Amino acid sequence: MKCAATADRADEKEYTTSFMCAQLGVCRQGYYRWRAQGPCRRERTDAEPTEVIRAIHTELSGDPGVRRVHAEPVVQGHRVSPTRVRRLTKAAGLQGRHPRAWRKTTTAGRRPVDAPDPIGQDLTAEQPNTRWCGDITYIKTVDGWVYTATVIDLHSREVVGYAVADHPRTSLVIEALAAALVTRKPPPGVIFHSDRRCRYTSKELADFCALNGVRRSMGRRATRFDNAVAEPFFATYKKELIHTRPWNDLADVKHHTFLWIEGYYNRRRRHSALNYLTPLGYELGYRKLIDLAA
């Protein structure tokens, strides 16, 4: 370590080699012998995977953690263990972001239109467009609060509909759900699961769902595990996008939310729940199996 520090300073030519060796207590002859040897075998073998990890860390959004970084070189054909990725990531000074603590925000309306809970805590789906879930989050901007509502397919974790507005009213939820219906065209009876916030228990949303053949489903109040796909999505959304910079206004958030969801989350971000496939890749794999079985 002392020899490496001496070499770094010597290359900058700010101090002489003799001065640096004297200050760090390094024998000058020993320093030159160390420098003549060049990098050790381990440093040479670590050089290529370190560059791969740096490139992946730069490419992926939101300072990814070790597991997501490890999944990328494995898919690319590199043989590297999670332990080695963790060591090289730490040595390179790279660090992932950690989500903030969960806080209870669910408040039911005064006159809620109740719905059953056919899903329970089974937040999976064997086929696309059979089970969806939704939620709302809030983002602070210079101009004031902005709200994002999403609809996620429980089969592939793909965001199939979303909307961003300067209010959290029921119309925002309807806008996101309408976008999902237009984009995916699900069969009648698709289940839309949510928590019991007043927007999701409103008569306006109940009427919209009934008109469009959507079955409402609601988890228990203030129980995060009953909506344990939508809420972790927003933790990721905030960790990897929202909390990385300040935001000016609604247009700023709307533009970058579009880029993050359509350009990265659905197409590039790998999920541990999907065996480290992307949502789009997982659904494409499912459709290929269906075609082969037909």
SS3 182: helix
Per the domain annotation, does 13 fall within a domain? yes
- Judge if 174 and 83 occupy the same domain: no
CA distances in angstroms from 150 to 8, 259, 293, listed in the order given = 50, 15, 33
Tell me the average pLDDT across 251-266.
Answer: 96
The residue among 136 and 219 whose pLDDT is bigger is: 136
Q: Return the CATH number at 164.
A: 3.30.420.10
Residue 97 confidence (pLDDT):
57
Per the domain annotation, does 154 fall within a domain? yes
- Judge if 154 and 222 occupy the same domain: yes
For residue range 145-200, list pLDDT tens digits in order: 999 999 999 999 999 999 999 999 999 999 999 999 999 999 999 999 998 888 99
- Judge if 182 and 162 occupy the same domain: yes
Per the domain annotation, does 8 fall within a domain? yes
Per the domain annotation, does 99 fall within a domain? no
- Judge if 69 and 165 occupy the same domain: no
Residue 17 confidence (pLDDT):
73
- Judge if 250 and 145 occupy the same domain: yes
Helices (H) and strands (E) in the chain, counts: 11, 5
- Judge if 151 and 170 occupy the same domain: yes
Which runs of E-coded beta strand occur in 141-282? 145-153, 159-165, 190-194, 214-218
- Judge if 59 and 86 occupy the same domain: yes
Q: Cα(94)–Cα(190) distance, rounded to whole angstroms? A: 42
Per the domain annotation, does 273 fall within a domain? yes
Rg (CA), the chain: 25
- Judge if 152 and 245 occupy the same domain: yes
Per the domain annotation, does 229 fall within a domain? yes
- Judge if 188 and 224 occupy the same domain: yes
- Judge if 173 and 258 occupy the same domain: yes
For residue range 225-253, list pLDDT tens digits in order: 567 788 889 999 999 999 999 999 999 99
Per the structure, how many domains does the chain have? 3
Lowest-pLDDT choice from 109-113, 138-142, 154-158, 281-285: 109-113
Q: Cα(253)–Cα(248) distance, rounded to whole angstroms? A: 8
For residue range 32-75, list pLDDT tens digits in order: 777 767 666 666 666 666 777 677 666 666 566 666 666 766 66
63: left (phi over 0), alpha (psi -120 to 50) or beta: left
The residue among 5 and 139 whose pLDDT is bigger is: 139
Per the domain annotation, does 100 fall within a domain? no
- Judge if 74 and 151 occupy the same domain: no
Q: Is the pTM of this model over 0.85?
A: no
Tell me the average pLDDT across 277-282.
Answer: 93
Q: Please, what is the average pLDDT of the chain?
A: 81
- Judge if 217 and 179 occupy the same domain: yes
| Domain that residue 71 falls in | 41-91
Per the domain annotation, does 135 fall within a domain? yes
